[in-house]
A and B are shown apart, each in its own frame.
Chain A
Amino acid sequence: MNWPLAWRLARRELRGGLAGFRVLILCLALGVAAIAAVGLLRSAIQGGLADQGAVLLGGDAQMNFTYRFASDAEKAWMADHAVEVSEIVDFRSLAVAGEDRALTQVKAVDDAWPLVGAVGLEEGNLAQAFAPQGGLPGGVMDKILADRLGLKVGDTFKLGTQTFRLGAVLLKEPDSATAGFGLGPRTLVRTADLAQSGLIVPGTLYEADYRLLLPAGADLDALQAEAEVAFRDKGMVWTDKRNAARGVEKFVDRLGSFLILIGLAGLAVGGVGVASAVRAFMAARVGTIATLKVLGAEGALVLRVYLLQITVICLVGVVLGLALGAGGLQLGAPLLAALMPFPVAFGLYFAPLLQAAYYGMVSGLLFALWPLAQAVRQRVTSLYRGTDERVWPKPAHLAGIAALLALFVGGAVWFSGSASLALGTLGGVFAALVVLAVAGFGVKRLARAAARLGLVNGRPALRWALAAMGGPRSEVQAVVLSLGLGLSVLAVVGQIDANFRAAIARDLPAKAPSFFFIDIQDAQLDPFASLMAGNPAVTQVQTAPMLRGILTQINGRNARDVVGDHWVVTGDRGVTFSDNLPAGTTVTEGEWWPKDYTGPAQISFAATEAEEMNLKLGDQLTVNILGRDVAATLTSFRKVDFSSAGMGFIMVINSAAVAGAPHSSIATVYAAPEAEAEILRQASDTFPNITAIAMKEAIARAAEALSAIATATVLAAGAVLVTGLVVLVGGAAAGVPARMREAAILRVLGASRARVLASFALRSALMGAAAGGVAMGAGALGGWATLRLVMDLPYKFEAWSALSVVLGGMLATLAAGVVFAWGPLSARPAAVLRQAE
């Protein structure tokens, strides 16, 4: 009924302007801007990856083999179907220049590389860089690596036993985004030039990629199906330009979804601000509402009048947020494009903008409807009297709130594409808000009790602060809610980060090896062991034969169909073989095979992973090793500690089952840190083909990769926190009249301005400390749960990180409180009290 009349009345009221809605508009705009920016960036990355698929992949399609080159049959298939083929070998090695050594990810290429895209060199072209000079073949190095080794173009370096001349410095590798996580910077050489290096021999750990240029109009689906039917069981992995950077795409997609969900947390915090802004707005309109009711307006009409106004205000906030998000991203585009290792197609994508607008409108109305529905239900007399009557909204309005909530949650599930991620995050946010509300209530009661303690007698400023926190119209709950969520996320990240760093800096060196040595040939095992044994700084050496294998089938069924995306089956894993139970290994269930066992193949599996995958003794597992299927019976489970970064194999097979498989060995060497440089020099001088991976460097690279995720999370938490601060500032601004009156009364009663200021400042600081304290508790709980339950790492409460969160909360509220205390303190009491009359 009567929407036109409601709109006419609403429009008249809106003529007063948007001054009272700054907080509401800002809260919504910030949340919408964060979600829009993340969504647009995700679309830009996906757009870039889709446009440049062939360049990123280095061809229309790729066939990948682990630790082997393609067989003749596989090469023949490629020749039949492709216009051109390029072979690439990728492996880790040590680049040695004089006394300096550095781990590098070597990419050995043929003349056809790159099939698509161009290599960026500091000077000249690839052919010139590779061209031999003075009998030495040329190589190209990443600038970081060349600088680390102190190399200039023309200088020499060695890979294995082969000496190369640095032909050029690498600036851009066209197909680097598909290479995945590498432990060292890139070196490019021709495969043919490695013939005498001793690096690529049977058993060496390398990947062989075959890039295919296909005829125009080739049916990628059909080709993929054909290749997979023929070669997948031999360990071939197919990729094509449609999903060139599948890993990057998936990562960006998941991270984007996660960040958007954190953005939703920002909107939830902003919702606290929206609700209080609407409550304040309605409080200022009580006279009008009462008069409308006296004149015969029903509650429904009144609700519509104000619902329409709030909708218009929300729209303003949403549009401002979209402009902020899109504009901000556009401003940062050049910087972001330079930072990303893959092409990014920035632009105004409709879908993410629509998504952000949807979230903004639904959350704005969701949080506004409750106070709105409460206000229109109040009786006229209580409206005129100005009594703060808290009534329940009508059932119809409650149904409307429930519907909006369903739209909000449903939208999150739909847009994120992952019900578990969306429901998990929103459930977490909801639980956090409930916990914060309860904690806020607890703090309020605590403050109330503290205000009555004899301890605060004689300290009126403190007592008034505590009384205000514990009394009616207390701001404690609003402060804890608005700041608590952002601070909690920061506290959790802080606890995890600090524990992680502590684990790396303090715990890991004590139990982790100094080096992993890979590619040790059988004939080198004894001399290597002797060399290490001859060094008194070496405390322990462990070696094991190393194969890589893909677990393809469990009891005759495709392994992925049985255990889904468990990390053990998503790629090739380390496999070793042994006759005897390796020293220090504990069998938790089943029996180890007898010495010199030659019967049907048996396999031993890591106990924790087996339990996660629901494997049982007696299961039949098929592991593809170097293109050959090994079917084995699961006969034992072992305890494997991956957290020590030592040698740990998911699968151990009895020796006879893989006899004759080309393999190399790996070794872990434990030594005093000060002796590490000498061990590296000795080992690489004596065995040029053996690659040493220094654990410190490997951990540093892994930590770098993790810190990027932590930074993204902190930035998203920052957006939540900024929204919280807006709510806080809005609350402080809304509280100015009350404080003004309070300050005036206190001054009438003889309190000095300093004392009034002290009381206000104390109140703010205590509320901030309370929010920080609650966040600290959440941080400790979240940190403990993540480290102990998810990562299986020890947890220790990191006091400095926690303290900084409490301090941050105190400072934020103190700043807002003090800034908004100047007005009340400088106002003349008589003027204030006259106005209140």
Chain B
Amino acid sequence: MLELQDVHLRLNGNAGPVDILRGISLSVTSGESLALVGPSGSGKSSLLMVMAGLERATGGRVGALGQDLTQMDEDALARFRRGNMGVVFQSFHLIPTLTALENVAVPLEIAGEADAFGRARVELGRVGLGSRAGHYPSQLSGGEQQRVALARASVSRPKLLLADEPTGNLDTANGAAIMDLLFDLRDAHGATLVMVTHAAELAARCDRVLKLADGLLA
């Protein structure tokens, strides 16, 4: 499903270039759930961004579903994500000008699905927000916004679900509910899940846990 070989990531900061990832190799099999843990600044989120094709590795190879992401241009990567990947962020990243329903429908619209809104409505119902379809993100609580983000990530039945600290901005109760939902969705669709988290108990729910430190797998 995912194949990373000697992946490097160097970013240019104000104080000069910084090596974020320093040679990561790993593979994730289909249907597996993987937790990436480690201290702040260890490169977990960056690694997830590289896997999603949102960050371009400065060295090595990133393979997903048999495709080499490092050889694709920006638009090819965007097309690849359609239907193949769903991404969930710590800060939800909903589009503030769209309602909950419209936010969930966006990936289907991009993919040219005829019944984008019908399917989005079902998915929104699945995360328990069927009654809040017409609400804008600013009218929803943090937990609700993350549920919308989950619905948006899963609505196109992606083969790969990537979640970057999905409960990081939520309280314990909401965090637990979101995690239940994430695993339910993953189980329902049979997707592969890679998740960055600080919480040991969440990581423990995954099939495998990898620890990062200073840009390397520990």
Residues of A within 8 A of B (CB): 388, 451, 457-458, 460, 463-464, 467-468, 471-474, 738, 741-742, 744-755, 828-831, 833-834, 836-837
With A460-B109, A471-B96, A836-B91 already in contact, the answer to whether A750 and B102 are too (CB < 8 A) is no
- CB < 8 Å neighbour of A750 from B56, B110, B136: B110
User: Given A464-B98, A467-B98, are A458 and B114 also a contact pair (CB < 8 Å)?
Assistant: yes
Contact A836 B106 (CB under 8 A): no
| Complexed CA–CA distance, A471 and B98 (Å) | 7
Q: Is the CB of A748 within 8 A of B96?
A: no
The 29 sampled A-B contact pairs (Cβ below 8 Å) are: A457-B114, A458-B109, A460-B110, A464-B95, A467-B97, A467-B98, A467-B102, A471-B99, A472-B96, A472-B138, A473-B97, A738-B96, A741-B93, A742-B97, A744-B93, A746-B95, A748-B54, A748-B87, A749-B81, A750-B80, A750-B83, A750-B110, A751-B106, A753-B75, A754-B75, A828-B54, A829-B54, A831-B55, A837-B91
Told that A471-B96, A748-B87, A749-B82 touch, could you supply 15 new A-B pairs with CB distance under 8 A?
A388-B138, A451-B102, A458-B112, A460-B106, A460-B109, A464-B106, A471-B99, A738-B96, A746-B110, A748-B93, A750-B82, A750-B107, A750-B110, A830-B49, A830-B54
Interface of A: prevailing SS: helix
The residues in B between 44 and 87 inclusive whose CB is less than 8 angstroms from any CB of A are 45-46, 49, 52, 54-56, 74-75, 78-83, 87
B111 within 8 A of A: yes
Q: How far is the CB of B83 from chain A (nearest CB, A)?
A: 8
- A144 → chain B closest CB, angstroms: 61
In the docked arrangement, what's the CA distance between A457 and B83, Å?
19
Which B residues lie at the A interface, using CB under 8 A? 45-46, 49, 52, 54-56, 74-75, 78-83, 87, 89-91, 93-99, 102, 106-107, 109-112, 114, 116-117, 136, 138, 152
Residues of A within 8 A of B106 (CB): 460, 464, 746, 749, 751
| Top 6 A-B pairs, shortest CB-CB distance | A750-B82, A471-B97, A460-B109, A830-B55, A830-B54, A830-B49
Measured in the bound complex, the distance between the Cα atoms of B155 and A92 in whole Å is 86
- Give the CA-CA distance A464 to B105 in the complex, in Å: 11
A residues within 8 A CB of B94?
A: 745
A834 and B83 alpha carbons, distance in the complex (Å): 23
Known A738-B96, A830-B55; judge A751-B87 contact (CB<8 A).
no
Which residues of chain B are within 8 angstroms of A750 by Cβ–Cβ distance?
78-83, 107, 110-111
Distance in Å: Cβ of A543 to nearest Cβ of chain B: 73
CA distance A463 to B46 in the complex (A): 32
Q: Which residue of B lies closest to A763 (CB)?
A: B97
- What's the Cα separation between A451 and B106 when bound, in Å? 13
Report if A472-B136 is in contact (Cβ < 8 Å); known contacts: A460-B109, A749-B106, A836-B93: yes
Q: Give Cα A98–Cα B93 distance, bound, in whole angstroms.
A: 85
Pick the contact of B89 from A464, A738, A833 — CB < 8 Å?
A833
Q: How far is the CB of B24 from chain A (nearest CB, A)?
A: 16
Chain A residues within an 8 Å CB radius of B114: 457-458
Whole-angstrom CA separation of A828 from B91 in the bound complex: 17
Chain A: minimal CB distance from B46 (Å): 8
CA distance A744 to B87 in the complex (A): 12
* Contact in complex: A748, B81 (CB < 8 Å): yes
Is there an interface contact between B102 and A747, defined as CB atoms closer than 8 Å?
A: no
> In the complex, which residues of chain B have a beta carbon less than 8 angstroms from the beta carbon of A460?
106, 109-110
Taking the nearest CB of chain A, how far is it from the CB of B139, in angstroms?
9
Contact partner of A742 (CB less than 8 A), chosen from B55, B90, B95, is B95
Whole-angstrom distance between the alpha carbons of A772 and B141 in the complex? 39
Residue of A nearest to B162 (CB): A748
In the bound complex, CA of A747 to CA of B111 (Å): 12
B75 in contact with A749 (CB, 8 Å): no
**Nearest-CB residue, chain B, relative to A469:** B97
Interchain nearest-CB distance for A345 vs B (Å): 56
Residues in A whose Cβ lies below 8 Å from that of B107? 749-750
Tell me which residues across on chain A come within 8 A of B116, comparing CB atoms. 457
A752 and B54 contact, CB distance less than 8 A: no
CA distance A828 to B12 in the complex (A): 13
Whether the pair B109, A748 counts as a contact (CB closer than 8 A) is no
B78 touches A752 (CB 8 A): yes
In the assembled complex, how far is the CB of residue B42 from the closest CB belonging to chain A, in whole angstroms?
14
Q: Which of B80, B114, B138 has the most CB of A within 10 A?
A: B138
Cα distance A750–B89 in the bound complex, in angstroms: 16
A828-B55, A830-B54, A837-B91 given; A747·B78 CB < 8 A:
yes
Shortest CB distance A825–B (Å):
9
**Which residue, of B55, B56, B80, B112, has the highest number of chain A Cβ atoms within 10 A?**
B55
Shortest Cβ distance from A380 into chain B, in angstroms? 19
Chain B residues lying within 8 Å of A751, measured Cβ to Cβ, are: 78, 106, 110
Q: Roughly how many angstroms separate A714 CA and B31 CA in the complex, as a whole number?
A: 68
Q: Which of A473, A830, A834 has the most CB of B within 10 A?
A: A830
Shortest distance between the CB of B131 and any CB in chain A (Å): 18
Contact of B97 among A457, A468, A834 (CB under 8 A): A468
Bound-state CA distance A587–B44 (Å) is 96
In the bound assembly, the distance between CA atoms of A836 and B99 in angstroms comes to 20
Cβ contacts under 8 Å, B138 to chain A: 388, 472
Complex CA–CA separation, A473 to B80 (angstroms): 31
Q: Is the CB of A473 within 8 A of B96?
A: yes
Q: Provide the residues of chain A in CB contact with B81, threshold 8 Å.
A: 748-750
Residue of A nearest to B169 (CB): A837
B199 shortest CB reach to chain A, Å: 17
Please indicate which of the listed interface residues A467, A474, A738, A755 has the most CB atoms of chain B within 10 Å of its own CB.
Answer: A467
Give A591 to B53 CA distance when docked, in angstroms: 95
Q: How far is the CA of A752 from the CA of B109 in the complex (A)?
A: 12
Contacts of A473 in B (CB 8 A): 96-97
Query: How far does the alpha carbon of A745 sit from the alpha carbon of B98 in the complex, in Å?
Result: 12
Expressed in whole angstroms, the Cα–Cα distance for A122 and B79 within the complex equals 78
Query: Which residue of chain B lies nearest to A755 when distances are taken between CB atoms in the complex?
Result: B110
- Using Cβ atoms and an 8 Å threshold, which residues of chain B touch A471? 96-99, 136
A458–B109 Cα distance when bound, in Å, is 6
Would you call B89 and A837 a contact (CB within 8 A)? Answer: yes
Write out the residue numbers on chain A whose beta carbons fall within 8 Å of the beta carbon of B136: 471-472
Residues in B whose Cβ lies below 8 Å from that of A829: 54
Q: What is the bound-complex CA distance between A752 and B75, given in angstroms?
A: 5
Closest Cβ of chain A: how far from B196's Cβ, in Å? Answer: 12
Chain B residue contacts of A752, Cβ below 8 A: 75, 78-79
A381 to chain B, nearest CB (A): 15
Q: With the chains together, A457 CA to B49 CA distance in Å?
A: 31
Task: Determine the residue in chain A with the shortest Cβ distance to B76.
Answer: A752
Tell me which residues across on chain B come within 8 A of A837, comparing CB atoms.
89-91
- The complex places the Cα of A223 from the Cα of B98 at a distance, in Å, of 79
B20 to chain A, nearest CB (A): 11
Tell me if B93 and A833 are in contact (CB < 8 A): yes
Q: Does A745 contact B95, Cβ atoms closer than 8 Å?
A: yes
Query: In the complex, which of the residues A458, A474, A833 contacts B54, with contact meaning CB atoms closer than 8 Å?
Result: A833
**Chain A residues closer than 8 Å to B110, beta-carbon distance:** 460, 746, 749-751, 755
CB pair B97 A474 closer than 8 Å: yes
Residues of B within 8 A of A753 (CB): 74-75, 78
CA of A745 to CA of B83 in the docked complex: distance in angstroms?
15
- Among the listed B52, B74, B90, B93, which residue makes an inter-chain contact with A745, where contact means beta carbons less than 8 Å apart? B93
Q: Which chain A positions have C-beta within 8 A of B99? A: 471
Query: Shortest Cβ distance from A116 into chain B, in angstroms?
Result: 71
In the bound assembly, the distance between CA atoms of A744 and B55 in angstroms comes to 12
Docked-complex contact B152 and A749, CB < 8 angstroms: yes
